[in-house]
A and B are shown apart, each in its own frame.
Chain A
Amino acid sequence: MSQQNRLGTGGRIDRSRPLRFTFNGVDYQGFAGDTLASALLANGVDVVNRSFKYSRPRGIVAAGAEEPNAIVQLGASEAAQVPNVRATQQALYGGLVAASTNGWPNVDRDLMGVIGSVGGKFMPPGFYYKTFMAPASLWPKYEKYIRKAAGLGRVPKEADPDIYDHINRHCDVLVIGAGPAGLAAALAAARSGARVILCDEQEEMGGSLLDSRELVDGRPASAWAAAVLAELATLPEVLVLPRTTANGYHDHNFVTLHERRTEHLADLAPSLNGRRQVRARMHRVRAGEVILATGTHERPLVFSNNDVPGNLVAGAVSTYIRRYAVVPGRRLVLSTANDHAYRAALDWHDAGREVVAIVDAREHPEGDLVNEARARNIRIIPGSAVIEAQGKKRVSAVQVARIDIGGFKVAGRVETLACDTIATSGGYSPVVHLAAHTGARPEWRDDILGFVPGKVPGMTPVGGVHGKGALIEALADGAAAGTAAAQRTGFTAPAVELPKVAKVREGKAAALYQVPHVKPAMRAPKQFVDPQNDVTAAGIELATREGFESIEHVKRYTGMGFGTDQGKLGNINGMAIAARCLKQTIPQTGTTVFRPNYTPVTFGAIAGRNCREFFDPRRFTALHAWHVEHGAKFEEVGQWMRPWYFPRGNESMHEAVQRECRAVRESVGILDASTLGKIEIQGKDAREFLNRLYTNAWTKLDVGKCRYGLMCKDDGMVMDDGVTACIAENHFHMTTTTGGAAAVLDWMELWHQTEWPELEVYFNSVTDHWAAMAINGPNARKLLAELTDDIDLSGENFKFMDWRAGTVAGVPARVYRISFTGELSFEINVQANHALHVWQALFDKGEKYGLTPYGTETMHVLRAEKGFIIVGQETDGSMTPEDLGMQWCVGYKKPFSWIGRRALTRPDTKREDRKQLVGLKPLDPQLVLDEGAQIVLEKEIRIPMPMVGHVTSSYFSPTLGHAFALAVVKGGSQRMGQTVYLPMADGRVHAAEVVSPVFYDAEGARQHV
Chain B
Amino acid sequence: MQHYSGFGLVKHALTYHENWQRAWRNPTPKKKYDVIVVGGGGHGLATAYYLAKEHGITNVAVVEKGWLGGGNTARNTTIVRSNYLWDEAAWLYEHAMKLWEGLSQDLNYNVMYSQRGVMNLGHTLQDMRDIHRRVNANRLNGIDGEVLDIKQIQEIVPIMDCSKHTRYPIMGASWQPRGGVARHDAVAWGFARGADALGVDMLQQTEVTGIRKSGNKVLGVETTRGFIAADTVGVVTAGNSGVLAKMAGFQLPIESHPLQALVSEPMKPILDTVVMSNKVHGYVSQSDKGDLVIGAGIDGYNGYGQRGSYSTIEHTLQAIVELFPMFSRVRMNRQWGGIVDTCPDACPIISATPVGGLFFNCGWGTGGFKATPGSGNVFAATLAAGKPHPLAAPFSIDRFISGKLIDEHGAAGVAH
Contact = CB atoms under 8 A, between A and B. Distances in A.
A603 B320 contact: yes
A615 interface: yes
Interface string B364-397: 0000000000000000000000000000000000
7 closest cross-chain pairs (CB), A and B = A932-B132, A151-B290, A906-B403, A160-B328, A600-B331, A932-B133, A550-B67
Nearest to A614: B167
A155 B136 contact: no
A124 to B, nearest CB: 5
B142 A616 contact: no
Interface string B198-226: 00000010000000000000000000000
B59 interface: no
A691 interface: no
B112 interface: yes
Interface in A930-955: 930-934, 936, 941, 943-945, 947, 950, 952
B410 interface: yes
Contacts of A52: 266
A606 interface: yes
Interface stretch (A31-39, A345-353, A541-549, A824-832): A541-549
A869 to B, nearest CB: 14
A556 B134 CA distance: 37
B16 A877 contact: no
A136 B267 contact: no
Contacts of A557: 185, 189
A950 B328 CA distance: 41
Nearest to A161: B328
Interface string A43-76: 0000000001000000000000000000000000
Contacts of B310: 248, 250, 254, 256, 284
A815 to B, nearest CB: 30
Interface stretch (A18-26, A126-134, A620-628, A787-795): A126-134
B409 interface: yes
B11 to A, nearest CB: 10
Contacts of B404: 908
A541 B345 CA distance: 46
A611 B266 contact: no
A354 interface: no
Interface string B389-416: 0000000000101111101011000000
A136 B107 CA distance: 12
B140 A944 contact: yes
A154 B403 CA distance: 51
A600 B332 contact: yes
B328 A600 contact: no
A475 B47 CA distance: 58
Interface stretch (A79-87, A223-231, A504-512, A772-780): A79-87
A132 B110 contact: yes
Contacts of A154: 267-268, 270
A522 B133 contact: no
B317 interface: yes
A953 B6 CA distance: 56
A943 B130 contact: no
Contacts of A193: none
A933 B335 CA distance: 40
A933 B132 contact: yes
A553 interface: yes
Interface string B52-65: 00000000000000
B87 interface: yes
Most buried by B among A84, A133, A538, A872: A133
A602 interface: yes
A152 B266 contact: yes
A601 B409 contact: no
Contacts of B128: 932
A873 B24 contact: no
Interface string B310-326: 10011001111110011
A408 interface: no
Contacts of B23: 546-548
B167 A607 contact: no
Most buried by A among B165, B270, B288: B288
Interface string B233-269: 0000000000000000000000000000000111111
A936 B140 contact: yes
A934 B9 CA distance: 51
Given A151-B268, A162-B329, A876-B130, 8 more contacts: A52-B266, A84-B265, A150-B289, A150-B290, A155-B268, A607-B328, A873-B126, A878-B405
B137 A81 contact: no
Most buried by A among B159, B265, B328: B328
B307 interface: yes
B111 to A, nearest CB: 8
Nearest to A600: B331
Most buried by B among A129, A256, A931, A952: A129
B67 to A, nearest CB: 4
Contact of A612 (B167, B190, B320): B167
A595 B110 CA distance: 28
Interface residues of B, number: 116
A156 interface: yes
B31 interface: no
B114 interface: yes
Interface in A857-876: 872-873, 876
Contacts of B105: 133-134, 136
B344 interface: yes
A557 B67 CA distance: 13
Given A122-B9, A155-B267, A876 B407 contact: yes
A600 B183 CA distance: 23
A1 interface: no
B321 A522 contact: no
Contact of A595 (B16, B204, B288, B335): B335
A620 B400 CA distance: 41
A597 B265 CA distance: 11
A640 to B, nearest CB: 11
Given A151-B269, A934-B137, A950-B136, A566 B401 contact: no
B347 to A, nearest CB: 12
Contacts of A545: 18, 20, 22
A700 interface: no
A995 to B, nearest CB: 21
A178 B158 CA distance: 45
Contacts of A140: 114-115
B17 A124 contact: yes
Contact of A550 (B129, B165, B204, B403): B204
Contacts of A155: 159, 267-268, 270, 326-327, 329-330
A429 interface: no
13 contacts: A52-B266, A139-B113, A155-B268, A157-B159, A552-B70, A603-B331, A607-B318, A615-B280, A636-B168, A932-B128, A943-B142, A950-B133, A985-B136
A690 B327 CA distance: 48
A862 to B, nearest CB: 17
A156 to B, nearest CB: 5
A716 interface: yes
B100 to A, nearest CB: 11
A414 to B, nearest CB: 20
B5 A596 contact: no
A603 B125 contact: no
A270 interface: no
B302 interface: no
Contacts of B104: 133, 136, 139
Contacts of A715: 344-345, 403, 405
A153 interface: yes
B114 A130 contact: no
Given A124-B17, A715-B344, A908-B402, A151 B333 contact: no
Interface in B304-362: 305-307, 309-310, 313-314, 317-322, 325-336, 344-345
A153 B317 contact: no
Nearest to B21: A546
